[in-house]
Amino acid sequence: MLRISDEIEYLNQLITQPPEGMVGTELFRRMYAWGVLAVFNKVNRDLETLSGQLDTAVNLDAISIDFDKYCDVNYWTCIGLRVGWKRQWGLDETSEDNGKHQTEINLLTDFLPNGEEGYHTTPDVLNSFKTAMHQLCDEERMGTRDLVYALDKGLKTLFQLLCKIQKKVKKPETHLFAKLWDEIQNTYSEEGIDRQYRDWLDDMGEPSLDELKARQKQEIFEFLKTGFFRFAQMPIGREVKNRKLVIGEDDLEVGTKIPDGFEAECAKFDKFVEWKEECILVFNYEKLGQYIYKNYKRFEEDDLYCITGFDRLMDLIHEEMAQRKPQLSKYLKRYADNQVEELLNDCKKILNVLKPCLRSGLRETILEEFLDKLLFDSNLMEEARSMLGGQSRNKYICGIVNELSNRMIFDGKYVSSDLAKVLGTELENVKNETLLRYLKDPDITTVALHNWTKDIIDDFREHPYTRPKAELF
């Protein structure tokens, strides 16, 4: 998988380790510099895109960047020194180029770094490099003086973008960590887990709930033995003593020995999970994502495959448990997602009656997009799901309408009484007087909803929202 760090590594090698054959004509050397500039432009475009993505999610591409290394002047031998480019590559600032030299271009591409010579192989970047040089035959060329200036500017821009990304990565908002976990699941999906589990089921026939619980404890034991939580803070004695997860040798296959310090690993594990009815294990993906974020560069790939495989195995065991005890179904992931989807559709139906009240020029789907982001992709989705799914639904909907009205989403001619009347056509069991009272109440909106709406509404007007995992529902 090609990451931005691979592109930066390749760019550095092009700059600091030019081809040994770079001793030909001035044109030959200048074409190489032009190609490097093309790679600069591509890397900087990708960094700019990555910086924008970090406003809504912490991703692996960003946390895999070695900022200490790439922001070190010594890593780039020519940084910001016009004389550096000339000295290293033998560029003559007085020369110009107006000819077509396909032969020289073909010769130059033979010198490009490739995997066999120990360089990073990044086909996308390599193709950009070659394409840029071939364009020399058809486009107006810049003089070497301008080219050296452009190279300096490219490197300066690269540093600026890296610093911008580093600031965003350093202290991301807590709610973004659950999204990081989603990316980890997609990137490090362990193959074969489902098949292995089905094989076990076939061998067992129809395992009882107790047998499924025993299997779950065995798998938890095997997982904790891998040391996945070795970077987590060591628990104090009281936490170990009061831990919820207790595994003894009687719970495991005959002959299994429990290693020293295992109780402490169980206490660490407790901090990342919640137990439902003593058998359904529910990860706190926000905490888990934060733990992986802090220690990503210390993990081996096997660690990440291990945690995603374990999470998948727990899902399979829980599905089987729910077949033995149906009341456990409400704790399954698919059940929770379906519930939220039903809640979302219900709320969309209510708010859609306000479409005729929207300010001219706004897209008709903006109310649905707002709810979608609120319930699936915001730092207060737990509050929103709880309020909209409970007895406070009507109040919370009025709070949403209030906030949207204050942010000029609705046409100014529609005052609170008009909005209450329109809402009443969908909320038939609520009196218009009650809805109007809600809409006029300045305290009807929670502080969290007020702040979130204020922060995102301007961007929301300009950019349509698409739920990142919408295809799963």
Q: How far is CA 211 from the centre of its chain?
A: 37
- pLDDT digit string, tens, across residues 345-375: 888 899 999 999 998 888 888 898 888 888 8
Q: What is the structure's pLDDT at 125?
A: 53
N-to-C CA span, the chain: 27
* Closest by CA position to 418, among listed 345, 358, 331: 358
SS (H, E, C) the chain: CCCHHHHHHHHHHHHHCCCCCCCCCHHHHHHHHHHHHHHHHHHHHHHHHHHHHCCCCCCHHHHCCCHHHHCCHHHCCCCCCHHHHHHHHCCCCCCCCCCCCHHHHHHHHCCCCCHHHCCCCCHHHHHHHHHHHHHHHCCCCCCHHHHHHHHHHHHHHHHHHHHHHHHHHHCCCHHHHHHHHHHHHHHCCCCCHHHHHHHHHHHHCCCCHHHHHHHHHHHHHHHHHCCCCCCCCCCCHHHHHCCCCCCCHHHCCCCCCCCCCHHHHHHHHHCCEEEECCCEEEECHHHHHHHHHHHHHHCCHHHHHHHHHHHHHHHHHHHHHHHHCHHHHHHCHHHHHHHHHHHHHHHHHHHHHHHHHECCCCCCCHHHHHHHHHHHCCCCHHHHHHHHCCCCHHHHHHHHHHHHHHCCCECCCCCHHHHHHHHHCCCCCCCHHHHHHHHHCCCCCCHHHHHHHHHHHHHHHHCCCCCCCHHHC
Query: What's the mean pLDDT when you consider all of the chain?
Result: 79
Mean pLDDT of 433-452: 85
**pLDDT tier, 264 (very low <50, low <70, confident <90, very high otherwise):** very high
Mean pLDDT of 3-21: 77
Structure tokens at 381: 């989705």
Q: What is the structure's pLDDT at 28?
A: 65
Higher pLDDT, 145 or 459: 459
Mean pLDDT of 322-347: 81
Is the pLDDT confidence value at 105 over 50?
A: no
Pairing of strands 273-276, 280-283: antiparallel
What type of residue sits at position 33? A
* Closest by CA position to 369, among listed 457, 439, 471: 457
Mean pLDDT of 319-342: 81
> What's the Cα-to-Cα distance from 358 to each of 344, 354, 404, rounded to whole Å?
20, 7, 10
Is the pLDDT confidence value at 283 over 70?
A: yes
Structure tokens at 207: 């395992």
Higher pLDDT, 309 or 361: 309
Is the pLDDT confidence value at 162 over 60?
A: yes
Q: What is the structure's pLDDT at 311?
A: 94
Q: What is the structure's pLDDT at 92?
A: 52
Mean pLDDT of 282-305: 91
Mean pLDDT of 32-42: 79
> Among the ranges 78-87, 239-248, 363-372, 385-394, which has the highest mean pLDDT value?
239-248
**pLDDT tier, 116 (very low <50, low <70, confident <90, very high otherwise):** very low
Q: How far apart are the C-alpha atoms of 264 and 246, rounded to whole Å?
A: 11
Q: Which of 207-211, 273-277, 444-448, 465-469 has the lowest mean pLDDT?
A: 465-469
Q: Which of 6-10, 242-246, 264-268 has the lowest mean pLDDT?
A: 6-10
User: At how many degrees (to 10) do helices 301-324 and 177-187 cross?
Assistant: 100
Q: How far apart are the C-alpha atoms of 363 and 122, rounded to whole Å?
A: 41
For the chain, percent of residues with pLDDT exceeding 70 = 78
For the chain, percent of residues with pLDDT exceeding 90 = 22
Q: Which residue has the tokens 């803070």?
A: 233
The values of phi and psi at residue 304, to 5°, are -75, -35
**pLDDT tier, 26 (very low <50, low <70, confident <90, very high otherwise):** low
Q: What is the structure's pLDDT at 168?
A: 84
Is the pLDDT confidence value at 189 over 90?
A: no
Mean pLDDT of 220-246: 95
Q: What is the structure's pLDDT at 86?
A: 54
Is the pLDDT confidence value at 110 over 80?
A: no
Q: What is the structure's pLDDT at 309?
A: 94
- Would the pTM of this model clear 0.75, i.e. be above it? no
Q: What is the structure's pLDDT at 144?
A: 57
Q: What is the structure's pLDDT at 334?
A: 67
The values of phi and psi at residue 230, to 5°, are -65, -20
